[in-house]
């Protein structure tokens, strides 16, 4: 579904070049759970930005469903991210003036009854069925992150990219988030890519890639 062939990403800092990602090749199949693990600064987040189309690679080839990223305009890449991908970041990035339910709908591509029903169902799965009308500041940190996960899943993306989704959570809450992602994978056939430095979060992953200095070990 998504393939990367020898992709690399360079950051230029004055005269020097920092190879954040260097010669990474991988493939993500539908329904798979890919874990990317590595120490801080190893390039795992940069790899996620490349895979999700948030950054263009300095070299190599990326393709989603056989469509080469290099052939896509910026707007097409935007649409791809909006419609086919879901994102969970280390911080929840919920919009403060919207309710829990409305924050989930920010991720929706179509705002119809089916989407609303799915939002309700997903929020129920993460134990927030009674918190629909609360504002983010009325929730705990774990609850906010669960809302952010539901927001990433509500439009049934082909791939969910989760960048350190449990970094700001305690162990138990982090486990809950991973379970939600696992449920999603099982129920929809969508793939999950989790970038983390915590190996416990990758229990049940189909494939775990170790990164160091921008390269896969």
3-class state of residue 157 by DSSP: coil
- First and final C-alpha spacing in the chain: 23
Could you tell me the smallest distance in angstroms from the CB atom of residue 99 to another protein? 8
215: exposed, middle or buried (Cβ count in 10 Å: 0-12, 13-18, 19+): middle
Instruction: Identify the bridge partners of residue 24 per DSSP, sorted by sequence position.
Output: 7
Q: How far is the CB of 136 from another protein (least distance, A)?
A: 11
With contact defined as beta carbons under 8 Å apart, do 165 and 197 qualify?
no
Nearer to another protein, 129 or 203 (CB): 129
DSSP helix/strand/coil, 17 = strand
Nearer to another protein, 69 or 85 (CB): 85
Nearest approach in angstroms of CB 39 to another protein is 16
**Strand 159-163 to strand 2-13: parallel, antiparallel, or no bridges (unpaired)?**
unpaired
Compute the radius of gyration of the chain from its Cα atoms.
17
CB of 203 to another protein, least distance (A): 25
* Min dist. Cβ of residue 102 to another protein (A): 4
Rounded to whole angstroms, how far apart are CA atoms 87 and 5?
A: 22
Residue number, 37 or 50, with CB nearest to another protein:
50
Interaction site with another protein (CB under 8 A)? 45, 49, 54-55, 75, 78-83, 85-87, 89-91, 93, 95, 97-98, 101-103, 105-107, 111-113, 115-116, 152, 163
Nearer to another protein, 111 or 204 (CB): 111
Give the residue with the Cβ less far from another protein, 59 or 111.
Answer: 111
Give the nearer residue to another protein in terms of CB position, either 112 or 130: 112
The H-or-E segment that residue 87 falls in is strand 85-88
d(CA 168, CA 157): 24
CB of 97 to another protein, least distance (A): 4
């Amino acid at each position: 579904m998504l393939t990367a062939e020898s992709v690399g990403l360079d950051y230029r800092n004055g005269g020097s070049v920092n190879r954040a990602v260097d010669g990474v090749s991988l493939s993500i199949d539908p329904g798979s759970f890919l874990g990317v693990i590595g120490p801080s600064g190893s390039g795992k987040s940069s790899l996620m930005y490349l895979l999700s189309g948030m950054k263009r690679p300095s070299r190599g080839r990326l393709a989603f469903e056989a469509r080469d990223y290099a052939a896509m305009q910026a707007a097409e890449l935007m649409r791809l991210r909006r419609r086919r991908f879901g994102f969970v970041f280390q911080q929840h990035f919920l919009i403060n003036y919207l309710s829990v339910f409305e924050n989930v709908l920010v991720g929706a591509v179509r705002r119809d009854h089916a989407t609303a029903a799915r939002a309700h169902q997903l929020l129920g799965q993460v134990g927030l069925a009674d918190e629909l009308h609360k504002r983010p500041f009325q929730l705990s940190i774990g609850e906010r992150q669960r809302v952010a996960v539901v927001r990433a899943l509500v439009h049934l993306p082909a791939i969910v990219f989760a960048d350190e989704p449990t970094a700001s959570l305690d162990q138990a809450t982090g486990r809950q988030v991973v379970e939600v992602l696992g449920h999603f994978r099982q129920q929809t056939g969508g793939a999950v890519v989790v970038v983390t430095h915590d190996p416990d979060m990758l229990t049940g992953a189909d494939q775990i890639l170790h990164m160091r200095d921008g390269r896969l070990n």
